[in-house]
Chains A and B, each alone.
Chain A
Amino acid sequence: MAKIIGGLGTSHIPAIGGAIHKGLQQDPYWKPFFDGFGPVRKWLDQSRPDVVVMFYNDHGLNFFLDKMPTFAVGAAAQYNNADEGWGIPTLPPFAGDVDLSWQIINHLVDQEFDITTCQQMWVDHACTLPLKLFWPEGECPVTVVPICINTVQFPLPHARRVYALGKAVGEAVASWDSTKKVAIIASGGLSHQLDGERAGFINKAFDLQFLESLVTNPEWATQFSIHELVEKSGTQGVELLMWLAMRASLTHSAASGVRKVHSNYHIPISNTATGLIALETVA
């Protein structure tokens, strides 16, 4: 069976793409953010996942309001990035993993999740930048199954439902007839708000509580309604739902536990409180 080696969470601010393109990683503004990735990349070099399942939210590239799925699972052989309108460089396409895509799709529907399947989809910065952050040099060494969770059109799925989705995805991966090693990535967050009079809202205390909960109390954030999560972490801070799904996917069996490899937290990059975590599964 496939092995889930661990889970990662990272912020995905578009400006990161520009910073990488211009080589600004050691600039005083960027250094506290980029330096956090060193220990995580070292762990990835040692643990060498073959495949990544990526929980992320589309920011108006692949989906529009005309047809807006709550949960969309990618099942494409290849995923392409495209112009999102802000002048950030487009990144090269990366390979999908259709066998794992269908394993996940079959299991989720069997577990009574109502998902959208996508055999062709554009993936935006939320999907491409984490891959670039974790594997900065050369071609992306992992195949990818993107799972997109709606954060654009309310009502958003309950945190409890997102947790259940993550757990089911973990079960699907753990029961996959494959020898591959799989890592689960969460893209987005942490607290931030771009729109409204409350633009610039950041909640360090809540973010740190959330990061702590990922290690010691994975279901902690499921106590909050979406309205409460918006109030506590900002309109775009609800992206923490991706981290919740990732963490839930690591709990798929009763024997599951995690060890924190590394974490980082830095304010601000653009309007965002940036977070980073790497969790290794332990039997």
Chain B
Amino acid sequence: MHKAAALTPIPGTTPFDGEQAKKGYALNKMCFSFNSAQSREAFLKDEEAYMRQYGLTDAQAAAIRSRQVLQLIAAGGNAYYLAKLAGIFKLDMQDIGAQQTGMTKEAFKAKLVAAGE
């Protein structure tokens, strides 16, 4: 039997396993559609209609409205597709990192530099 539950949790990390996949399919499918410029425009024009089109659950839609990456992950969002959502709002990985760690962007960037020393 696959003992996934026995793995020591990694701090601040949610591996995208079957449990996450089961939670997040519609959300991830919607974010995958953002490869298309047309889709990105449609989402920005009417987010609620676009989310209904993809059949997002209440938790997934609430997470989208919150604009909080940690909440999107908790709702089953996969980082590869959430990155395309971030792209719509012109957020880079340091904006995303700062938001998730509760740091300012400058402090987050400084921490990255410090990891090299």
Contact = CB atoms under 8 A, between A and B. Distances in A.
Closest 9 pairs (CB-CB, A-B): A198-B12, A267-B116, A197-B12, A85-B84, A202-B115, A268-B112, A195-B79, A86-B87, A199-B97
Contacts of B5: none
Interface in B58-117: 69-70, 73, 78-84, 86-88, 90, 92-94, 96-97, 100-101, 108-109, 111-113, 115-116
Contact of A200 (B8, B82, B112): B112
27 contacts: A64-B32, A65-B21, A65-B32, A65-B78, A66-B29, A84-B35, A85-B40, A85-B87, A152-B16, A152-B78, A153-B16, A153-B21, A194-B97, A195-B69, A195-B73, A195-B96, A196-B12, A196-B100, A197-B13, A202-B116, A231-B8, A235-B15, A235-B79, A267-B113, A268-B109, A268-B113, A271-B112
A87 B34 CA distance: 11
A235 B69 CA distance: 15
Given A87-B87, A267-B113, A271-B97, A82 B35 contact: yes
A155 B12 CA distance: 19
A202 B112 contact: yes
Given A200-B97, A270-B92, A195 B82 contact: yes
A83 B35 contact: yes
A199 B100 contact: yes
Contacts of A77: none
Interface residues of B, number: 49
A260 interface: no
Given A154-B18, A199-B108, A268-B116, 10 more contacts: A60-B83, A61-B35, A194-B97, A195-B100, A196-B13, A197-B11, A198-B10, A227-B8, A231-B8, A235-B15
Interface string A29-61: 000000000000000000000000000000111
A8 B93 CA distance: 26
Interface string B25-48: 100110010111100100000000
Contacts of A153: 16, 21, 78
Interface string A246-283: 00000000000000000000111011010000000000
A12 to B, nearest CB: 14
A107 interface: no
A152 B97 contact: no
A11 interface: no
Given A85-B40, A273-B115, A196 B35 contact: no
Given A86-B84, A230-B10, A271 B35 contact: no
